[in-house]
Chains A and B, each alone.
Chain A
Amino acid sequence: MDEAQLRTLTPIVITILGRRGADFAAAEDAVQEALLEAVRSWPDDPPRDPKGWLVTVAWRKFLDAARADTSRRLREERAEGEPEPGPASTTDDTLQLYFLCAHPSLTPASAVALTLRAVGGLTTRQIAQAYLVPEATMAQRISRAKKTVTGVRLNEPGDVATVLRVLYLVFNEGYSGDVDLAAEAIRLTRQLASQINHPEVAGLLALMLLHHARRPARTGADGRLVPLADQDRALWDTRLIAEGVAILQAALALDRLGEFQVQAAIAALHADAPTAQETDWVQIVEWYDELLRLTDNPVARLNRAVAVGEADGAPAGLAALTVLDPALPRYRAAEAYLRERAGDPATAARLYAEAARSAPNLAERDHLTRQAARLNAELRRC
């Protein structure tokens, strides 16, 4: 059993402990300790029944902790009196863990951390490394999150939209550290999709797969960002694209459109184009219109303006852009791109340099600086 398989057992074992009477915070701690012990001892002594082993060890950890904590004595007595539960956990129960970890009372960062630990089975250290904060800080974030959801009944139905937002955040964090958060987000969304038939869950999964498929082409050998139009499409993972498109089509057939399905549809149209020039921009603009009907999001408006520039020409794109707030992230970058397409390289070079100064990340800043440098070199030549 590899680490990923081990981690899939995490929410199941937490749920089993919960049914035996352990509260969520204590169950989660006990399972985390059992996982650490599994990582230590399984390589030399693999158990025949990994889940049974984890339940036994986690339950023992829980009882040890409960005994050590005299204030828990009453709960412990009650728990020890509980009969052994049935062997299997129903998937519905782990679904409740998703809802609990994404509970609206949590801040996004807390919900992300708690989800990665209790549903994802990552250790506090791994989560801390992925988010570049000290382990002690992450431990506190998780323990506060657990306190916040104390008292939330696990059988309350949750809002799937909150879970999807958390998974989207994990996916979008990318893959800077040792833990591949994008892959982890896909695993958790897949697991969720297998438990709940909801078009937006499918939409998000499709969106993730379609973006993940492009990952090998997104960065050059020297680590630089390669924009969509310049990517080597032969590097795209066609198996992931096919899977994403199939999942999206099944979701769209349910006729309950949502923002993730629309975003996935846009990603699918990009994936479908053999070359950047053959992209169906007219359809992409239509999907952006759909997206704006669902969520009036300024970033979507900006992306729509760029798509309009491709579908109807740069002047039309610039016209769509001018009605937006120039303070929007990436507004200057979009304007620079459209100015160059409209045949004004001097303005474009100035705007690219300006966009670089306000870029939110290093890779984008470097990319925008290179664009400005390229145009300035061309301008010097003529």
Chain B
Amino acid sequence: MAKYLLLKHYRGAPAAVNDVPMEKWTREEFDAHIQYMRDFANRLESTGEFVGEQALSPEGTFVRYDGEGRPPITDGPFAETKDLIAGWMVIDVDTYDRALELAGELSAAPGAGGKPIHEWLELRPFLTEPPTIME
């Protein structure tokens, strides 16, 4: 088994096919979208492939150390920041192909007009523990 991160962007990913911002959807369209995501996660739990998921607020702050005894420096948020992560789901699957298949399915969540959004999701493998046998 291998763990993968499915990364959803507010901004920074290539444009989706059905690229209508959420606030312009109808309530029914929005509800259908949420239900799709929920069903997807539940189904992955029942197949033994679900690890976790979390959504993120679009507002964030950059933080850095500013020397011994001083409070950290903060900056932002930057409206022009290229990447803006919206949330993630972690899955644990047998193969890379299965991870691709699931990412494709998640990208098909319905949006405006009830049609699949076809949004771009970023798929990133986790670094693991080293195997016992390496040579």
Q: Which residues of A contact B (CB under 8 A)?
A: 107-110, 113, 131-134, 136-138, 140-142, 144, 171-176, 182, 207, 211-212, 225, 228, 263, 266, 270, 303, 306, 359-365
Contacts and interface: CB of A to CB of B under 8 A. Distances in A.
B1 interface: yes
Interface of B: 1, 3, 45-52, 92, 94, 125, 127-133, 135
B68 to A, nearest CB: 24
Contacts of A359: 127
B48 A174 contact: no
B44 to A, nearest CB: 8
A173 B127 contact: no
Contacts of B46: 140, 144
Contact of B51 (A134, A174, A211): A134
A362 B92 contact: no
Nearest to B46: A140
B128 A133 contact: no
> Which 8 pairs between the two chains have the least Cβ-Cβ distance?
A141-B48, A176-B129, A109-B1, A140-B48, A363-B130, A172-B131, A361-B128, A362-B127
Given A107-B94, A108-B94, A137-B92, A361 B130 contact: yes
A360 B128 contact: yes
A306 B135 CA distance: 10
A144 B48 contact: yes
A270 B48 CA distance: 39
Contacts of B47: 140-141, 144
27 contacts: A107-B94, A109-B1, A109-B92, A109-B94, A132-B3, A132-B51, A132-B92, A134-B50, A134-B52, A137-B45, A137-B48, A142-B48, A144-B46, A144-B47, A171-B132, A172-B131, A172-B132, A174-B129, A174-B132, A175-B132, A207-B133, A212-B132, A228-B135, A360-B125, A361-B130, A362-B127, A363-B130
B135 to A, nearest CB: 6
A363 B129 contact: yes
B92 A131 contact: yes
A272 B67 CA distance: 52
B84 to A, nearest CB: 25
Contacts of B92: 109, 131-133, 137
**SS class, residues of chain A in contact with chain B:** helix
Given A133-B48, A137-B48, A172-B133, 16 more contacts: A108-B94, A110-B48, A132-B51, A133-B92, A140-B45, A144-B46, A144-B47, A144-B48, A173-B131, A173-B132, A174-B130, A211-B132, A225-B130, A361-B128, A361-B130, A364-B130
A108 B52 CA distance: 21
Nearest to A284: B135
A361 B129 contact: yes
Contacts of B1: 108-109, 131
B128 A109 contact: no
A374 to B, nearest CB: 20
Contacts of B3: 132
Nearest to A330: B134
A275 to B, nearest CB: 16
Contact of A361 (B45, B50, B127): B127
A139 to B, nearest CB: 8
A228 B50 CA distance: 36
Question: Residue among A134, A225, A266 with the most chain B CB within 10 A?
Answer: A134
B120 to A, nearest CB: 23
Nearest to B1: A109
A103 to B, nearest CB: 15
A362 B51 CA distance: 20
A182 B132 contact: yes
A130 B131 CA distance: 14
B37 to A, nearest CB: 17
A109 to B, nearest CB: 4
Contacts of A107: 94
Nearest to B129: A176
A337 to B, nearest CB: 12
Contact of B127 (A140, A171, A365): A365
B72 to A, nearest CB: 26
Question: Residue among B1, B50, B132 with the most chain A CB within 10 A?
Answer: B132
A365 B47 CA distance: 32
Question: Residue among B45, B46, B50, B129 with the most chain A CB within 10 A?
Answer: B129
B40 to A, nearest CB: 14
Contacts of B128: 360-362
A109 B129 contact: no
Question: Residue among A225, A361, A365 with the most chain B CB within 10 A?
Answer: A361
B129 A137 contact: no
Given A107-B94, A131-B92, A361-B127, A137 B51 contact: yes
